[in-house]
A = this chain, B = another copy of it.
């Protein structure tokens, strides 16, 4: 027993050291995207390299192996037990890849990401093609190391959404596709069409910031444990549980960028701020999966921020900071405009309804790349075909098409489905929340804290203790089911489009 206690201490010290490197690395990354002066970046790459290497060394160290072996199914501390489990998964994954392949892959990733930048700027897929081919080959190989025989893609999915499989995705995506294709079609032919042009008037940055800060306060974001800064590509980052920062971008011709962006990142940040303190400095003190994280940001952005109740209660505040051009906009026109549906080429600009279709395009393509017979060289054509099939529009350049996202260039195959899963989780959570409180009434009260408390109680506090599908099942009483999303979108958009 004394032995276990000592080993627990050793394990905690190891986790703490790993976490301190992670904290330093997070701060370096936040600074790199917010404050660093232009010329300061070159040398910073080496700092990132060193800190990442130290984290990797600890994860794959003999000491870590010893702790795992000694503590597995031994410690009476439930949190430590789950931490051992997570560390074991990481240890095994890393140790199954030969060191030289791991190093070569890291180099390839960073090279490929910078080539992607150039390829996108020049609309030149051929430039990126050899790198993508290598990345696909490595991912297939790694999946094999991890034990895959036929379904390699399932191994990759597991990295981002533990427990989610191709079989499950095929099923829920089919449900979404079947449920939404008709609706999208009807909307495109509807007589009543909201017009988002009424929103694109000059709106000074300071006024956008004021409104965004007000919303963050109402959401319960703790400014003593965080801050809001400007960046180019907005993100939220948990530097430590009491230092969770949000970034946003202001477009003075379109307030939606900053306002909905801040609410979205605020949703991510609330998750990280409200994790149980007992999990601090363990690998459990973060979101349990990419999909559950995205469910939190999308819940706030769409189920709250784009709801009618939200604008009912906040329209007066909004108008009080908005310029003259916004003062006469009719409420229903405004609400319709922030929910306008319009098939578009770029995923991150997509509306709530067509967003999942963008994800399906990527999901089917990456599945075919890893387990099917799609060759990288045929990707641009395959992309455009799928866009035409699902969204009825065909990109005329690769910049508008396959080159728009960085994910594949960073070797992230299996990541995209998390975005759609986030929507489905959010809709299912929203449905459950409705059973327990009048969500619209809460939003209309202007005090959103009951929503934050509910999410903290059911999701946030657990960090990585519970796995995503387990969490959804426990909170909602049923397995993942895409019908909640279909129902929610159908009701909402039929009303907006008078269908």
Contacts and interface: CB of A to CB of B under 8 A. Distances in A.
Nearest to A17: B50
**Copies of this chain, tallied across the complex:** 2
A31 interface: yes
A36 B31 CA distance: 12
Given A20-B47, A242-B42, A37 B280 contact: no
Nearest to A39: B242
B44 A240 contact: yes
Contacts of A28: 24, 27
Interface string A34-73: 0111111011101101110000000000000000000000
Given A24-B28, A39-B243, A242-B39, A16 B224 contact: no
A494 interface: no
Q: Is the interface of A mostly helix, strand, loop or mixed?
A: helix
Interface string A472-496: 0000000000000000000000000
A31 B24 CA distance: 11
Given A37-B243, A224-B39, A242-B42, A47 B31 contact: no
A29 to B, nearest CB: 11
B20 A50 contact: yes
A463 to B, nearest CB: 15
Nearest to A25: B24
A37 B225 contact: yes
Nearest to A49: B20
Contact of A226 (B37, B51, B227, B241): B37
B37 A242 contact: yes
A239 B46 contact: no
A43 B224 contact: no
A139 interface: no
B51 A223 contact: no
Contacts of A43: 23, 240-243, 280-281
A140 to B, nearest CB: 34
A443 to B, nearest CB: 27
Contacts of A38: 224-225
Contacts of A31: 27, 31
Contacts of A281: 43
A224 to B, nearest CB: 5
Contacts of A17: 50
19 contacts: A16-B46, A17-B50, A20-B47, A20-B51, A21-B50, A24-B28, A24-B50, A27-B27, A36-B243, A37-B223, A37-B243, A39-B222, A39-B242, A39-B243, A40-B239, A40-B240, A43-B241, A43-B280, A44-B243
Interface of A: 16-17, 20-21, 23-24, 27-28, 31, 35-40, 42-44, 46-47, 49-51, 222-227, 239-243, 245, 280-281
10 closest cross-chain pairs (CB), A and B = A40-B243, A39-B242, A43-B240, A20-B50, A38-B224, A39-B225, A20-B47, A39-B224, A40-B242, A24-B24
